Amino acid sequence: MGSRPAAGGGRWVDVDPERLAKWVDGFAARHGPPEHAVAEFGISLRAPDGAAADLHAPPGATGYTDLESFVASAAQPRRLGLLLARKGAVALGVAVGDELEASKVDTSYVQSRTAAGGWSQQRFARRRENQARAAAGDAADLAVRVLLPRAPTLAALVCGGDRRTVDTILADRRLASLAALRADRHLQVPDPRHAVLLDAAKAARAVAVHLPPGA
């Protein structure tokens, strides 16, 4: 379970779906039995002492009508696509629960050092742009091979890393059906490697809980 500041105040807590029932019990023990309501994002909890928590459903979790069914739905293993990209590195995978069914990691060279000013700087910028474009094209080719054939079986596509790079990859027209599965959740990850992909499979399943200031 991890915690991070939330934009606009409060904090986010990532809860493993298998531990969610215990987390809710702990919330009730600290603040009193909460009332709950189904919301667009998942489930909202409001306790007698004024404490609140918003439980955001993990990607692909559907069909819940109350807190109990939300907890059960979150814990169900789902087949998720993973697309992580940063600079010239990309990691693709298909996960069921925390386990990878398929994966591919690739690295392309994209120049990152700053050159001198003037014409030299302009040539550097053009060269880097061409390298980044080529790397995104290679990543799209990998997605066509690894993810696209499995798209009809995926509950969602969870992306991470540099948003602009991910957007460029998914703009490939061949990946339209895959882009349509893209979840709102975007994972913050270091340079994609196989170990990072394994961590992302777990992070993609977590229930993101927003706690307002003072909770």
pLDDT tens-digit profile of 111-167? 454 444 554 566 655 555 655 565 677 899 999 999 999 999 999 999 999 999 999
- CATH number of the domain encompassing residue 118: 3.30.420.60
Average pLDDT over residues 14-39: 97
Structure letter (DSSP) for residue 59: T
pLDDT value of residue 129: 62
pTM for this structure? 0.86
Average pLDDT over residues 84-97: 92
pLDDT value of residue 136: 77
- Cβ-Cβ contacts under 8 Å for 203 (sequence gap 6 or more): 14, 160, 187
CA distance 215 to 202: 25
Angle at CA of residue 122, ends 117 and 125, nearest 5°: 110
- Mean pLDDT (the chain) is 89
Statement to judge: residues 112 and 179 lie in one domain: yes
pLDDT value of residue 120: 57
How many structural domains comprise the chain?
2
Statement to judge: residues 67 and 83 lie in one domain: no
Statement to judge: residues 168 and 112 lie in one domain: yes
Domain that holds residue 122: 79-205
Q: Residue 109 — very low, low, confident or very high, per pLDDT cuts 50/70/90?
A: very low
Q: Across the strands, what pairs with 189? A: none
- Cβ-Cβ contacts under 8 Å for 159 (sequence gap 6 or more): 82, 83, 84, 85, 166, 170, 182, 183, 186, 187
Taking a C-beta distance cutoff of 8 angstroms, is the pair 189, 202 a contact? Answer: no
Helices 163-170 and 118-146, axial angle in degrees (round to 10): 60
Taking a C-beta distance cutoff of 8 angstroms, is the pair 133, 108 a contact? Answer: no
Statement to judge: residues 144 and 71 lie in one domain: no
CA distance 187 to 102: 19
Q: Is the pLDDT of residue 38 over 50?
A: yes
Assign 90 to helix, strand or coil.
Answer: strand
% of the chain residues with pLDDT over 90 = 77
Q: Is the pLDDT of residue 88 over 80?
A: no
Q: Is the pLDDT of residue 168 over 70?
A: yes
Name the token pair of 176. Answer: 């339209």
Please report the beta strands in 57-206, taking only residues with DSSP state E, as ranges in sequence order: 79-86, 89-96, 99-107, 156-161, 182-187
Amino acid occupying residue 22: K
pLDDT value of residue 112: 54
Statement to judge: residues 67 and 125 lie in one domain: no
Distances (CA, A) of 192 to 23, 99, 189, 198: 30, 17, 7, 10
Statement to judge: residues 72 and 139 lie in one domain: no
Statement to judge: residues 144 and 167 lie in one domain: yes
Range name among 42-51, 125-134, 206-215 with the lowest pLDDT average: 125-134
- Give tens-digit pLDDT for 182-201: 999 999 999 999 999 999 99
Q: Is the pLDDT of residue 171 over 80?
A: yes
